Amino acid sequence: MAQAITLSSALNDLSTARTRGYRDSNEIVRKGLFVLEQKNGLQQLGDNVWDFLEQLAIAALDIGQLDLADDCIHRLDEQFPKSMRVEKLRGMRIEAQDLGLALQFYEQALEKDEANVDLWKRLISVLRQQNKIERCIAELDSFLDTFYSDIEGWLELADIYASQNLYTRSQQALSHVLLLAPQNPFHALRFAETAYSANDVPLALRYFLRTIELTTDDESGASSVGVARRAWFGVRLCTKHLLSNPGAVSESNTPPMKKENLESLDILAAERLTAAYSSTQAKTSVPGRTEVLKWLSS
């Protein structure tokens, strides 16, 4: 049963979602509709009313409430008739029904404003949805030549390459992410896992350890615990592989680790993971716990 909503709680929750980038579209639409239905709901928003309508339009598109999205976009268009943010919403509205028309729409819009980041990203998204991978990559390359510091763009490029099993190219894209955000453990973990998929196990081990190093002083709470645990799994996989294949080649020319160091790391990874999966909480809440502990003891 859904908790009763008040106008103040709905406005506060929607504001928090906008500030933190939450995208629980069903909840945003539920609370957004409640605000619209209140007599003075929009007036309570003040200057934030336009951000609210944009937020609600995107959420409505996410869950297929096209009439609600149309209403929000219409209100925004009346207030900002030449806004590129409204133009982006129009494009997303077209995407909901026809990707081909949406592609044409973005192409025409970019002819007027060729450096518009949001419209360019939407065009790239449509190309990927249409599985036009070669052109999608070409557009992303061009986009990143123009906006090198756009981390989302590099992550998207890495993901596209990985989806095509081009893991070395995915690594190359992620290396730019590491340059732009060297202290982010999530990016280091992703690089490590991609290197492992590319069969560069020495490089993967190096970045699994780097991930653990970054999470040691991380203050993000539970999320960092999960990242560290996943990294320790990676360390164990790497040490097992390298101890069984001492002549493993590293395409990145990452120096091999001494056997005694690999053995120590293997033991340490097993200890850390065993402790994590032997906790009181893990005993009752982690599926596959018995199988994991059996693997760790091998």
What is the spatial distance between Cα 12 and Cα 191, in angstroms, rounded to a whole number?
37
Query: Is residue 191 exposed (0-12), middle (13-18) or buried (19+ Cβ within 10 Å)?
Result: buried
Mean residue pLDDT of the chain comes to 90
What is the spatial distance between Cα 29 and Cα 23, in angstroms, rounded to a whole number?
10
What sign does the dihedral 41-45-50-54 (CA atoms) show?
negative
Mean pLDDT within 207-235: 80
| pTM for the predicted model, two decimal places | 0.86
Which string of b and e fits 143-157 if b means at least 16 CB within 10 Å? Answer: bbeeeeebeebbbbb
Place of tokens 């030449």: 82
Residue 221 has pLDDT above 50, yes or no: no
Higher pLDDT, 265 or 217: 265
Nearest to 21 by CA among 138, 115, 149, 152: 152
Nearest to 153 by CA among 131, 173, 128: 173
Higher pLDDT, 42 or 98: 98
Higher pLDDT, 171 or 218: 171
Q: 297 falls in which pLDDT band (50, 70, 90)?
A: confident
Degrees, nearest 5: CA angle 63-69-70 = 140
Residue 266 has pLDDT above 60, yes or no: yes
pLDDT for the residue numbered 293:
76
The amino acid sitting at 2 is A
Nearest to 177 by CA among 201, 211, 158, 154: 154
pLDDT for the residue numbered 167:
96
Domains of the chain as residue ranges with CATH: 183-298 (1.25.40)
